[in-house]
Structure 1
Amino acid sequence: MAGLVKGKDYDWKDSNLSLFGSDLERNVKKASAETEEAWQGAGSNVGIQVWRIVKFKVTHWPKEDYGKFFSGDSYIILNTYKTPPSDELLHDVHFWIGSKSTQDEYGTAAYKTVELDTFLDDKPVQHREVMNNESDLFKTYFKMITLMEGGADSGFRHVKPTEYTPHLLHFQGHKKNVKATDVPLFRESLNSGDVFILDLGLDIYQWNGSSCNKDERFKALQYLQQLKSDRGGKPKVETLNEADISSSHKFYTHLPEGGDALDKKDDSAVAAAEKVLLRLSDESGELVTTEVARGGDVKRALLDPNDVFIFDTGTHCFVWVGKGASSQERRKGMQYAHNYLMKTDHPLIPVSIVGQSKETASFNSAF
């Protein structure tokens, strides 16, 4: 099917969510939620569940691969938990979008996330996650997040080492937030501040940059050991410290020069972004957004229970749903937040829907 062809990076500003939240979408979702086989048992126990979108269908992602995501795919992640002393099951549901995921997959993930929300009686807090811009909450679910190029169908878990496509993984972060990202096989991809694993199938190298931190080294070592175990202990592994090897070491022969240095994420611009609060209301007969406040004028007291508000903190976008909001305002919140972000300089930040009296800690702390 042409809509599922992988390849170029997907431009999120071209995303079409026009049916997301429509009456048609709502009616179909109600009818299909109970018959979706993938949802059977979903959210019935505390823990994480992950599904991948495959040709418009929701498929279970293997538990041994939880935390691994491919740039060419879209996923749905459900976290079920309890808040003592209550025994009530609570949920957060996220749809994660790879940088090369197709519009079809993106739309299906968004649609099916709302369907899962319906299946769980509208209890979950809904979130949109995008590759390399995951929310802090999302990062807590996994011991480590590994981002791989391509799609899961071209995956590497069960392939024979002798038929293996080389990968260079970049380990970056601190404490529990170390992330492994598949990067181009060029010497320019390396930097002294992080750790890299060069996976050649039967030969695996861990390269420790001269100023990397202990968390990166530890996570990379864990990953390396798991790779060796997955391949029956056959690979030969070697740990290299940048300062202890020469530029002629055989490790470098697998990484030719000529690539572009990895772009460093500029968090300073994002951190300096001005907070914006928008009201989404259909009081006039039409659903419109109006700016309520900006910068230091954004106050929690401005939230009106009769409407929906879009709160852009610069690093996270929240859709706050008042208890008295109309059905149209409730259904269209995510779509309008998405449309708003398309017009900003940071369209890839996470989006979370929170209900009045069910606000999350990250929402409360943003004021």
Structure 2
Amino acid sequence: MRQNKREKSSRDEQVACAMLATQLDNFLGGDPVQHRQVQGYESPEFMNLFPRGVSYKEGGVESGFRRTQSGSGPVQRLYQIKGKRNIRAKEVGLSWQSFNKGDCFILDLGETIVSWIGSQANIFEKQKVREIAALIRDTERHGKAQITNISEGEETQEMLQVLGPVPELKESTPEEDSQADASNIASLYKVSDATGSMKLTKVSEKSPFAKDLLVRDDCFILDNGANGKIFVWKGKKIVHVYPNNLECS
């Protein structure tokens, strides 16, 4: 059972998602293994469920403080295609400021879908941008839109009418080795009520961690925040409800 948290979701939506997941887990007798996924940091296992890639759209619920785009009227959306092994398509601001030379982009204009390839984009992004453009055409436009494939420096007049003149685009920003090393920093914590009160104890801060550090009678938290991830592990023999009705889930 997988929970997916979007970066612009409200606190109420996140709490409701967690509550529904807990109810479903209880209904199924506690058998499902729960996984929490955060937008932009989804696990490979989650991404494998979407072989044609994942596309993020703005969405949201209309209110007095927020306006959502209706299904009627002209369509003007810009998607950024980024990644290597797990490619993601994310809706970004309709501006040249969203572009860079190292990624691919899709400009969705309704009847026309422009597939734009940056000069420094990798081979996986080049392949995926065409697949996602075809997916938008076949599913959202019922096969009636025209796809235009262009490379950086070949911008069409229709594209320029929407975005304006092409400015100096940002260079690609590949991840430095030092940043990759920093993303592997993690700490392991144990959550236990063995002393009669809830207690959080740091078990280790040196990875990789030995599997025998995990005890079936307790909960553990693996903090890999430098990489945007926090994992919660619940032992099979744990008492379901802690004192003060606090659940480890």
Matched, 1:279 2:187: no
Corresponding residue of 1:117: 25
Q: Distance in 2 between the 1:223 and 1:194 partners?
A: 14
User: SS at 1:285's partner residue?
Assistant: coil
User: SS at 1:327's partner residue?
Assistant: coil
Matched, 1:242 2:152: yes
Q: Do the aligned residues in 2 keep the contact of 1:187 with 1:252 (CA within 8 Å)?
A: no
User: SS at 1:333's partner residue?
Assistant: coil
Q: Do the aligned residues in 2 keep the contact of 1:196 with 1:206 (CA within 8 Å)?
A: yes
Of 205, 219, 234, which aligns to 1:321? Answer: 234
Q: Distance in 2 between the 1:262 and 1:166 partners?
A: 25
Question: Where do 5+ consecutive residues of structure 2 fail to align?
Answer: 63-67
Normalized per residue, the structure richer in helix is 1
Corresponding residue of 2:65: none
Report deviation, 1:256: 4.1
Question: Could you list the per-position Cα deviations for residues 292-336 of structure 1 after superposition, in whole angstroms to 9, with x for gaps in the alignment?
Answer: 2211584333333332222234544332333432223596334xx
Question: Where do 5+ consecutive residues of structure 1 fail to align?
Answer: 1-92, 335-367
Of 104, 107, 131, which aligns to 1:195? Answer: 104
TM-score, normalised relative to structure 2: 0.79
Aligned residue runs from structure 1 range 2-13, under 5 A: none
Change (3 A) 1:269 1:174: closer
Letter in 2 for 1:320: W
Change (3 A) 1:299 1:223: closer
Letter in 2 for 1:126: Q
Corresponding residue of 1:90: none
Q: Distance in 2 between the 1:306 and 1:151 partners?
A: 40
Letter in 1 for 2:248: G
Change (3 A) 1:325 1:210: same
Letter in 1 for 2:45: L
Size of the alignment, in residue pairs? 234
Letter in 2 for 1:181: K
User: SS at 1:332's partner residue?
Assistant: coil
Change (3 A) 1:327 1:185: same
Q: Distance in 2 between the 1:293 and 1:124 partners?
A: 28
Aligned residue runs from structure 1 range 354-365, under 5 A: none
TM-score, normalised relative to structure 1: 0.56
Corresponding residue of 1:255: 163
